[in-house]
A and B are shown apart, each in its own frame.
Chain A
Amino acid sequence: MSTGNQAPSFAQSTWLVAEREIGSKLRSKAFLISSVILFLGSLALVIWGGFQAQSNEGIPVAVTSDAAHYVAEIPGIDVTDASDRADAEALVESGEVDAAIVGDSSSPLGFVVIAESSAPTQLMLSLAQLPPVEILNPDPTDEALRYLVAIGFGIVFLLAASLFGGTIAQSVVEEKQTRVVELLISAIPTRALLAGKVIGNTVLAMAQILVLAAISIVGLTVTGQTEILQGLGGPIVWFAIFFFFGFILLASLFAAAAAMVSRQEDIGSTTTPLTMLIMAPYFLVIFFNDNPVVLGIMSYVPFSAPVGMPMRLFLGEAQWWEPLLSLAILIATCAAAIYLGARIYENSILRMGARVKLSEALRS
C-alpha cells in the first residue's frame, strides 16, 4: 500500500477549508462587484466631505508684507502674498482674490481694505473688533457629522455582517444540499470544517473592513479633513476590533442556523432572527445617536457593541475602560456562540430533509 499521506492536523485541515472558502469567494463576480461598489461608495463619501470642507475655506485675500501682522490672528481668510500695493490691486482686479489688505499710514487702523466693487461682508466682520464670547454648554460635535458617522458605522456593520453572514449560511447549505459534506467530514473532523468556514469568511470580512478603514483614513488625510480624523481615527480602530469578534460571533451562529436546513430556499426560516440581530444596531444607531442611554446600552450588548461603542467613543461619552469591558463581554459571548454553534452544526449537518428542531440540534 502506498500511503504517502499523513492525516493532516486539525489546524491544517481548518486552513485548507478556510483557503477554499476565500478562494471561491474571490472568484465570485457578485462578491467582487459588491465590494468595489462599497469601496467606491465610501471613497465618494470621503471626497464629498472634502469638497464640503473646502467650500468652507477662507476668503481669498491678498496681503502685503507691511499688513501681514494685522491679519495673522484672523481666522477664515486665505492669504495670498502681494509684493506691494500695486500688485495687490492687480490681484483684486483679476478676480484672483476677493479683497486686498495693505498697510496705509493714513488709515487710523494702519491698513486699508481694497475691494473691486464692494467689500466682502464676512471679511469686514472678521476684521471688526468683537467682544469675546463664552459658551457655557458647548455642543461637542457637529450635528450633521454625528449623524454621518452613525450611518457610517451602522451601514458598514450591516453590509459586512449580512454579506458574509449570508455567504457562510449559503455555503453551509450548499455543502449539505450537494452532499459534498459527507465527503468532507469523512476526511476531516466536523469542527475543523466549521472552524475553516468561519475563519475564511472572517478573514474576508475583516479585509473588507480594513480596506474601508484605510480608505476613510487615507481619504480624510489627503482631502485635508484632519480635524475629523483626529476624532474618528480611534473609534475606527475600535470598530475594527469589535467587528472582528462580533463577526466571529455572528458567523458561528449563521453556520449553525444554516446547518439546520437542507435547501437554499429554507435558509430564511432559521437565519431570519440573526438577520434581525444585524439590522437592529443599524436602525438603533440612526434613530438614537443623540440618546446617551440607548447608546450606552447598545455599547454593551454584544450584537450592537461593534456599532454602539465606537459611536460613544467618537462622541466622547465613554470612559477609557468602557470599551475594554464591553470587549470582554463580547469575547465571552463569542466563545459561547462558538461552543453552541459547533454543537448545533455537528448535530444537524448530516440530517437531510425536514428542518432540524433546535432542541434536537442542541442535544449532545
Chain B
Amino acid sequence: MLTLEGITKSYSGRRVLDDVAFDVRPGRLTGFVGGNGAGKTTTMRIVLGVLAKDAGRVTLDGTEVTASDRRRFGYMPEERGLYPKMKVLEHIIYLARLHGFSKTDASARATELLERLGLGERLGDNVETLSLGNQQRAQIAAALVHDPEVLILDEPFSGLDPLAVDVVAGVLQDRAKAGSAVLFSSHQLDVVERLCDDLVIIAGGTIRAVGSRDALRAEHSTRRFELVSSGDAGWLRGEAGVEVLEFDGGYAVFDVDGDETAQRVLRRAVAQGDVASFAPQHPTLAQIFKEVIQ
C-alpha cells in the first residue's frame, strides 16, 4: 500500500499542498479528483520523486519510498511527453529498458501492450505522426510497460474518445486486478465514478474527502427522490415536508424530511395518475465533489 502522510509543499512562499494524506491500496483503482490548481499534479510529482517535498512522508508498505522503489512505479505525466521523432515501439522498448528489462523482454512486453492498446498497426511509425488520441495510448503504454507495482496517472482519459476510454479503463482495471495500486486523476467525473473503487478529493491543496466510492456516496446521500408520472406533479409543492428541486410537468426531483413523507407522496402520486418511476436518488460524484470543496 502506498501511503502519503503530511505532505507539504510551497512555491516561493505560496503553500500549494498542506498536510496531504491518503492511501492508495493495491488491487484497487483510486480516483484523484480536484479542480484546476488544486494540487493533484504536484502531489503526483512528489510521489514520483520528480519534485521534492517540503515535509511529509511517502511510504510503500510502511517504509519510505526510495529511488529504487520508484523504478517499479509507472507514471503518466500531465503534460504528455514522448520523443516526437522516435518510433512508437522503439520508444516503449527504450523506457522498459530504462526500468531494467533486458532487450528481449522489453521488446516482447512493448509489442504486446501496444497491440492491446490498439496501436499494433503503428509500431514502426514516429510518435509525432500519431493522432493525439493514439499518442495518449502510447503514453499509457509508456507508464505500464514495466508492470509497475504502483501506477500514477495524471489525467489518463483526457482527449480520448469513448471507445478509447473503455480500452484504457480495461487496461487499468487489469493492472489493479494483477495487484497494482493505481492512482489516477481526472476531470471527467462520470468516468471516475464508473471506474474507481476509492476516491480522494482535493481542493486548495488540502484533502477534503477520502474513502471508498460507496462509503462516500452513502455519507453524502440525502433523502432525495425522483418522480416520473403521467399527471401534473404540481401538487408536490403543497405537500408538507417536501422540498421540490426540479419540476417539469409530471417530472420532479425533491427532498423529503423522512421515509413516511416519501411513502405518503408515492401514494398520492399513484392516486393522481400513472407512475412510471419513483426512486431514491444517490448523489453523483459531481454533487459530492461540489459539496465537499465548498
Q: Which of B77, B99, B105, B178 contacts A187 (CB 8 A)?
A: B99
A203 at the interface (CB under 8 A from B): no
- A220–B45 Cα distance when bound, in Å, is 58
Q: Which of B50, B51, B149 contacts A3 (CB 8 A)?
A: B149
Q: Does A1 lie within 8 Å of B147, measured CB to CB?
A: yes
Q: Does B83 lie within 8 Å of A187, measured CB to CB?
A: no
A144 at the interface (CB under 8 A from B): no
B48 at the interface (CB under 8 A from A): yes
- A183–B71 Cα distance when bound, in Å, is 11
Q: Does B85 lie within 8 Å of A187, measured CB to CB?
A: no
Query: Can you list 22 A-B contacts with CB-CB less than 8 angstroms, sorted by A residue number?
Result: A1-B149, A1-B179, A4-B105, A5-B72, A5-B96, A7-B68, A8-B98, A8-B100, A16-B98, A174-B84, A175-B81, A178-B81, A178-B82, A178-B83, A179-B80, A182-B45, A182-B79, A183-B75, A183-B95, A186-B50, A187-B95, A350-B50
Q: Does A180 lie within 8 Å of B51, measured CB to CB?
A: no
Q: Does B49 lie within 8 Å of A186, measured CB to CB?
A: yes
Chain A nearest Cβ from B181, distance in angstroms: 11
Chain A nearest Cβ from B177, distance in angstroms: 12
- A180–B91 Cα distance when bound, in Å, is 11
Contacts of A213 in B (CB 8 A): none
Nearest A residue to B26, CB-CB: A1
- A224–B201 Cα distance when bound, in Å, is 80
- A46–B92 Cα distance when bound, in Å, is 45
- A350–B81 Cα distance when bound, in Å, is 13
- A180–B143 Cα distance when bound, in Å, is 12
Q: Does B70 lie within 8 Å of A179, measured CB to CB?
A: no
Q: Which of A1, A8, A182 contacts B81 (CB 8 A)?
A: A182
Contacts of A13 in B (CB 8 A): 98
Contacts of B251 in A (CB 8 A): none
Which B142-161 residues have C-beta < 8 A from chain A?
Answer: 142-143, 146-147, 149
Contacts of A17 in B (CB 8 A): 98
- A353–B50 Cα distance when bound, in Å, is 17
Chain A nearest Cβ from B10, distance in angstroms: 15
- A188–B94 Cα distance when bound, in Å, is 12
Chain A nearest Cβ from B149, distance in angstroms: 6
Which A170-192 residues have C-beta < 8 A from chain B?
Answer: 174-175, 178-189
Q: Does B70 lie within 8 Å of A183, measured CB to CB?
A: no
Q: Does B101 lie within 8 Å of A20, measured CB to CB?
A: no
Q: Which of B83, B97, B143 contacts A16 (CB 8 A)?
A: B97
Q: Which of A4, A7, A20, A350 contacts B94 (CB 8 A)?
A: A20
Q: Residues of A with Cβ closer than 8 Å to B?
A: 1-8, 13, 16-17, 20, 24, 174-175, 178-189, 350
Q: Does B83 lie within 8 Å of A2, measured CB to CB?
A: no
Q: Does A7 lie within 8 Å of B50, measured CB to CB?
A: no
Nearest B residue to A181, CB-CB: B81
Q: Does B100 lie within 8 Å of A179, measured CB to CB?
A: no
Given A175-B83, A188-B98, A350-B51, 17 more pairs with CB closer than 8 A: A5-B72, A7-B71, A7-B99, A8-B100, A16-B94, A17-B98, A178-B83, A180-B81, A180-B82, A180-B83, A182-B79, A183-B75, A186-B48, A186-B49, A186-B50, A187-B70, A187-B95
- A185–B77 Cα distance when bound, in Å, is 12
B67 at the interface (CB under 8 A from A): yes
- A8–B97 Cα distance when bound, in Å, is 8
Q: Does A179 lie within 8 Å of B81, measured CB to CB?
A: yes
Q: Does A24 lie within 8 Å of B83, measured CB to CB?
A: yes
Nearest B residue to A182, CB-CB: B77
Nearest A residue to B106, CB-CB: A5
B86 at the interface (CB under 8 A from A): yes
- A3–B69 Cα distance when bound, in Å, is 11
Nearest B residue to A8, CB-CB: B100
Q: Report if A186-B75 is in contact (Cβ < 8 Å); known contacts: A3-B149, A8-B100.
A: yes
Chain B nearest Cβ from A138, distance in angstroms: 57
Contacts of A180 in B (CB 8 A): 81-83
Q: Does B72 lie within 8 Å of A179, measured CB to CB?
A: no
Q: Does A1 lie within 8 Å of B178, measured CB to CB?
A: yes
Chain B nearest Cβ from A274, distance in angstroms: 24
Contacts of A188 in B (CB 8 A): 98
Nearest A residue to B100, CB-CB: A5
Q: Does A182 lie within 8 Å of B100, measured CB to CB?
A: no
Q: Which of A3, A24, A181, A350 contacts B72 (CB 8 A)?
A: A3
**Which 7 A-B residue pairings sit nearest by Cβ, starting from the closest?**
A179-B81, A5-B100, A180-B81, A179-B79, A187-B98, A182-B77, A7-B71
Contacts of B143 in A (CB 8 A): 183
Which B112-171 residues have C-beta < 8 A from chain A?
Answer: 142-143, 146-147, 149
Chain A nearest Cβ from B129, distance in angstroms: 15
Contacts of A2 in B (CB 8 A): 147
Contacts of A185 in B (CB 8 A): 50
- A13–B99 Cα distance when bound, in Å, is 9
Chain A nearest Cβ from B239, distance in angstroms: 57
- A180–B48 Cα distance when bound, in Å, is 14
Q: Does A183 lie within 8 Å of B81, measured CB to CB?
A: yes
